[in-house]
Homo-oligomer: A and B are copies of this chain.
Amino acid sequence: MESTMTRRLISALFLLLLITVGSSATPTHWRKRVREPCNKLVFYFHDIIYNGHNAKNATAAIVGAPSWGNKTILAGQNHFGDVVVFDDPITLDNNLHSPPVGRAQGFYIYDKKEIFTSWLAFSFVFNSTQHKGSINFAGADPLMNKTRDISVIGGTGDFFMTRGVATLSTDAFEGEVYFRLRVDINLYECW
Q: Interface size (A, Cβ < 8 Å)?
A: 88
State the Cβ distance, A121 to closest chain B Cβ, in Å. Answer: 6
* Given A87-B80, A117-B105, A151-B154, A138 contacting B136 (CB threshold 8 A): yes
> Taking the complex as formed, is A65 at the interface, i.e. its CB lies under 8 A from any CB of chain B?
yes
User: Complex Cα distance A125/B138, Å?
Assistant: 13
State the Cβ distance, A23 to closest chain B Cβ, in Å. Answer: 4
User: Complex Cα distance A188/B28, Å?
Assistant: 9
Q: What is the count of identical protomers in the complex?
A: 3
B165 touches A151 (CB 8 A): no
Give the residue of B19, B119, B154 whose beta carbon is less than 8 angstroms from that of A163: B154
CB-CB under 8 A from A12, the residues of chain B are 13
* Apart from A87-B117, A152-B154, 14 more pairs, CB < 8 Å: A9-B10, A13-B13, A19-B20, A20-B20, A35-B160, A63-B64, A66-B85, A86-B111, A107-B119, A134-B140, A136-B150, A136-B151, A151-B154, A154-B163
